[in-house]
């Protein structure tokens, strides 16, 4: 079977199964998730053996160390997958929730009911645990799922898929509710993202290259997550201790995450007193400072920042620094250079805080808090499908609700329109 025919068949089966997952009760979905967790624990040996074969082949093909590391599944990793499934089972079921009911002058009551999107396609790279994780999030939100993992992880993903199917069958749900693509044909992805009749949304989880390729080829909506070039702006009215703590945490708690600060802006009136303190703290933690001319006068160790530095997502021990006139220039700079992920102001001034919140056009905007808080779990979503840098549908950390829609419901008593 060629890739197109195969993907059409997978799509048709997913669409069919999505009616059952949409109808499924909370108990059925949770039963399936708990049975998947049990199957994963039970088949731990097979999962590890399949993964070992994947890793061996990847090594033989010269896969780099970082990729091999992401590909490798350990005993602890198997247990984490099972626990993840159990945690999703414990989350409240978003489907069927009725909200915003209002009585209208005509007598009808109008409101909304939360419903699944239908079929979710998830495309990811080496990490095999995403297979269980994505299956759980799609099922709990009442969707059918088509999962396409990295070709390096094929054996392990198929072993996990067998556990997922066992869980679905145990709960009386169709085993096609979660399908893990069996072909490694690169063309399959192109077909998956271009079947609006069978797939309602695509969630790519991986590097920028993957996401850009998919966004370009997709003929269905994509929940996409591009760069995180996050800013901390230290305002004229900043509390110096808060500024120091927030900058330290935002930049140095973890260097490689998308909510790590990559740029520091300082208001001119406090630059003389604060720029050396803030920058010396970073330098002491091994961070290279790339600054504007004013910064370099105040911080001799700083090297000159180019315009590209202000656009950069370093994901490394480097930060760009710029002295700005005031909150207005900070907002303008952020709206030009930021990737609209997460930006924070440190200030005690109410008006500057409100203006920053309102005018910075990013998915998360913060006052006196570390950019590192931009995260589905920290926000209380219970789970995270990804972080959206789009404005349409879902923005910022996306929880189960991001895989749902709301339909209108009308409760009447025989009313007609006049």
Residues that bind a copy of itself (CB under 8 A): 19, 22-23, 96, 102, 104, 106, 108, 110, 113, 115, 117-118, 200-201, 221, 239, 241-242, 245-246, 248-250, 253, 335, 344, 357-359, 361-370, 372-374, 378-380, 391-393, 395-397, 405-417
| Nearer CB in complex with a copy of itself: 363/383 | 363
Find the shortest distance in angstroms from Cβ 151 to a copy of itself: 29
| Nearer CB in complex with a copy of itself: 352/364 | 364
Find the shortest distance in angstroms from Cβ 1 to a copy of itself: 27
Find the shortest distance in angstroms from Cβ 108 to a copy of itself: 5
**Count of CB atoms within 10 A of residue 41's CB?**
16
| Nearer CB in complex with a copy of itself: 152/248 | 248
Find the shortest distance in angstroms from Cβ 170 to a copy of itself: 23
| Nearer CB in complex with a copy of itself: 115/383 | 115
Find the shortest distance in angstroms from Cβ 383 to a copy of itself: 15
**How many angstroms separate the Cα of 203 from the Cα of each of 123, 145, 167, 258, 385?**
6, 11, 23, 17, 8
| Cα(409)–Cα(104) distance, integer angstroms | 13
| Nearer CB in complex with a copy of itself: 176/389 | 389
| Nearer CB in complex with a copy of itself: 263/342 | 342
User: Helical H runs in 24-153?
Assistant: 26-42, 44-60, 65-71, 75-90, 129-140
Residue 40: φ, ψ to 5°: -65, -40
Residue 401: φ, ψ to 5°: -55, -30
**How many angstroms separate the Cα of 189 from the Cα of each of 193, 203, 204?**
6, 12, 11
| Cα(402)–Cα(399) distance, integer angstroms | 6
What is the Cα Rg of the chain in Å?
24
Find the shortest distance in angstroms from Cβ 259 to a copy of itself: 9
């Amino acid at each position: 079977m060629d890739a197109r025919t195969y993907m059409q068949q997978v799509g048709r089966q997913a669409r069919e199964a999505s009616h059952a997952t949409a109808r499924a009760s909370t108990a059925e979905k949770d039963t399936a998730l708990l049975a998947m967790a049990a199957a994963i624990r039970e088949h731990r040996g097979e999962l590890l053996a399949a993964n070992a074969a994947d890793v061996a082949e990847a090594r033989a093909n010269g896969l780099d160390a970082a990729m091999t590391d992401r590909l490798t599944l350990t005993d602890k990793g198997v247990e984490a997958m099972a626990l993840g499934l159990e945690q999703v089972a414990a989350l409240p079921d978003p489907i069927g929730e009725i909200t915003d009911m209002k009585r209208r002058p005509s007598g009808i009551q109008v409101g909304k009911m939360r419903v699944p999107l239908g079929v979710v396609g998830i495309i990811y790279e080496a990490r095999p645990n995403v297979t269980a994780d994505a299956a759980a999030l799609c099922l709990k939100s009442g969707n059918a799922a088509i999962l396409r993992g990295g070709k390096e992880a094929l054996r392990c993903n198929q072993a996990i898929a067998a556990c997922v199917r066992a869980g679905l069958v145990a709960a009386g749900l169709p085993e096609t509710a979660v399908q893990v693509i069996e072909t490694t044909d690169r063309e399959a992805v192109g077909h998956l993202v271009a079947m609006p009749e069978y797939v309602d949304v695509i969630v790519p989880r991986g590097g920028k290259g993957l996401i850009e390729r998919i966004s370009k080829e997709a003929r269905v909506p994509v929940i996409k997550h591009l760069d995180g070039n996050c800013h901390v702006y230290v305002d004229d009215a900043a509390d110096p201790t808060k500024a120091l703590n927030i900058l330290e945490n935002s930049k140095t708690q973890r260097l490689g995450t998308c909510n790590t600060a990559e740029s520091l802006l300082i208001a001119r009136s406090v630059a003389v007193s604060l720029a050396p303190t803030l920058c010396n703290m970073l330098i002491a933690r091994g961070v290279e400072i790339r600054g504007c001319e004013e910064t370099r006068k105040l911080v001799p160790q700083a090297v000159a920042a180019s315009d590209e530095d202000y656009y950069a997502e370093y994901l490394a021990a480097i930060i760009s620094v710029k002295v700005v006139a005031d909150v207005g220039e900070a907002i303008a700079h952020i709206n030009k250079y930021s990737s609209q992920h997460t930006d924070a102001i440190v200030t005690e001034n109410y008006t500057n805080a409100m203006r920053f919140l309102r005018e910075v056009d990013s998915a998360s905007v913060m006052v006196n808090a570390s950019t590192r808080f931009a995260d589905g779990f920290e926000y209380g979503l219970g789970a995270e499908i990804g972080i959206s840098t789009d404005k349409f549908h879902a923005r910022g950390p996306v929880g189960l609700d991001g895989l749902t829609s709301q339909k209108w419901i009308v409760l009447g008593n025989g009313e007609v329109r006049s």
